[in-house]
Amino acid sequence: MANLPARIGKYDIRAQLGAGAMATVYQAYDPVIERTLAIKVVDKARLDESESETILQRFRVEARAAGRLQHQNIVAVYDFGEEGNLVYLVMECVFGRPLTAYLQSEDFRGEPDKVCDILLQILSALQYSHAQGVVHRDIKPANIMVTREGSIKIADFGVARIESSQLTQTGDLIGTPSYMSPEQFAGETADARTDIYATSVVFYELLTRKRPFEGSNNAVIMHRVFTETPVAPSIVNPLLSDALDAVVLRGMAKDAQDRFQSAHDFSLAIKEAISIGLLKTATAAADSNKPIIAPNLLRAVRSAPAANGEAARTAPGTVSQRPAVAPLMPKAAVAPAKPVVLFVDDEARILTALHALFRQKYTVFTSDDPRQALEMVKRLQVHVLVSDQRMPGMLGVELLREVKEVSPKTVRILLTGYSDLASIVGSINEGEVWRFINKPWDTQDVQRIVADAVAIATEMPEVPAWQMPAKPRFEESILSLDPGNIVTPDLLRQYGERHWVAQARDLDEAITLLQEREVAVMVADMDSDPQEVKSLLHLLKRDYPQILTIAVTQTMDAEMLIELINEAQVHRFIGKPVGAAQLQQHVDAALNRYHTYKATPALAMAQKVESQKSAPVLKSGLMDRLRAIARFGAR
């Protein structure tokens, strides 16, 4: 991050998304068309001289191959350029994570319908690319992106073969060994059926959590590819029926003539298997001890306010037996005997583990459907909601945003297994998440976080949100920690007639102004001195929780944002360049929240923060001066 370039070509660089042995990928912004992009960059100076021309040649092939493809399941390429030692490829920025992440963190063995949906999207992309004369030649989970909405995007055509190109000669070994076909190992020319073979390997891996051919080195893998027949998926995964066995194994036939001859044929075979049935009988599935999440949570919700004051509970594998009440009810008038915690995740094992961990202490509900969970929040007082981010039908950030509107008292926690920057920013700015819990979690940490959230929610009074009147002038100030004069002009223009707007060029000035005025909102540029500013925000929120902070930064990093929420409860984040409309939207939200706290100070307890991981780094004397900051109503 320290060597992050400011610009490449006409594109502003905002963050580093990833780096490999040959290329680095940055998140970028095109100021002309105002679009967020990804730029894949190769630095020629870092390449071995003997390999330089080959690598750059393949990079240009990727530009040519992907640039001619326009399909909803293929990462779009927009531009290619060279600047000094840098060669770069400008492409669509996909907010999501690769399929490898799901193979590591999720178990699809009981969800073959979801696997088939993934495969049909991959095959749709390949059917299109093959029709355009482009063979990918390196289909594998790392090159398959899953967006936040659950769509598939194939990336990295760096080793693609274009029918009109002679850049890759017969005899080259191109691909990733575990996904390579026999003809690739033999150095023969790859065609569409080569991609079908690799897609079948991915299919097998998703269904079984095993690769069909594994070994300690490439030679062992190659030997098995040539000589062994994979074990049928239904034998490796006893949850499966045998409907997919012939489909998967045909896709991996050793002779290309015996495979599906097109992605279209492969898709038809999958659809036929779906019509037959992908899972064994319900009894057989139950014998596997795979948890099943109650599919009809609403029935339990509608029957929640029992006569004795006990809320009906749903545990994994059960549904409340009390009769449903129709029409839909308002929130229960009788509170449950224990605080209510709702966990939402589309993965059964996660819900089972969380239910077991908390069921003795709280009334625990679980749901694998975020829309049903939202209906529950509308009808029952839920004290704490813990939601996964990536779920079919509704993202976690969308659920948190909806819950914030219908139940402001519900403390919202995001459960995340990856650091998707856009999702993190959205959950803060839109869902106002209180904490992040990372998968895999530490049991003691998650128990402590949920306990703190429950304590806040149960003590929080019911008050309507304060709304900004139209005209009056307010005494409290908006403080801008803005060494580069980036946001202060907009703040003065938008708020100068109604509020006292002050600019601080450094932390010393900021603390002086905090001592002199009642500050409602502080807009802080994080880039001047990230560690010192972070320490200031942490100490402010710890001792003066009513002050709302908005962080502005050039280089957003998901882990940094998570730390700033957990340790400093930052109210909003804004990336540079700062838009005036976005700034006004977030400052308005912060002012409204400040006056809500001012009317009911007990609400500010929701701003409780965790101890900073490292000791505060404020310069000598500044920490002592913080104790004299003006509080509510001080003049």
Query: Annotated catalytic sites, by residue?
Result: 138
Q: Are 25 and 91 in contact (CB under 8 A)?
A: no
Rg (CA), the chain: 28
Provide the CB-side half-sphere exposure for 531 (13 A, CA).
7
Nearest Cα neighbor of 198 from 181, 213, 210, 212 is 181
Q: Which ranges constitute the DSSP H helices of 332-383? A: 348-358, 370-379
Measure the CA–CA gap between 62 and 157, rounded to whole angstroms: 5
Query: Does an H or E element contain 286, and which?
Result: helix 282-287
Q: Please state the separation of Cα 334 from the chain's center in Å.
A: 37
Q: Are 456 and 341 in contact (CB under 8 A)?
A: no
Cα separation values, 47 from 31, 42, 43, 55, 176, Å: 31, 8, 7, 8, 21
Tell me the three-class secondary structure of 462-524, residue by residue: CCCCCCCCCCCCCCCEEEEECCCCCCHHHHHHHHCCCCEEEEECCHHHHHHHHHHCCEEEEEE
Contacting residues for 112 by C-beta, under 8 A, at least 6 apart:
207, 239, 240, 244, 278, 279
Measure the CA–CA gap between 548 and 596, rounded to whole angstroms: 12
Q: How many residues does the chain have?
A: 635
Query: Strand, helix or coil at 128?
Result: helix
Nearest Cα neighbor of 564 from 444, 429, 396 is 429
Q: Are 132 and 272 in contact (CB under 8 A)?
A: no
Q: Are 163 and 152 in contact (CB under 8 A)?
A: no
Q: Are 569 and 543 in contact (CB under 8 A)?
A: no
Q: Which ranges constitute the DSSP H helices of 42-181? A: 49-67, 99-105, 112-131
Measure the CA–CA gap between 141 and 152, rounded to whole angstroms: 11
The CA-based angle 181-186-190, given to 5 degrees, is: 55
How far from each other are the two terminal CA atoms of the chain, in whole angstroms?
42
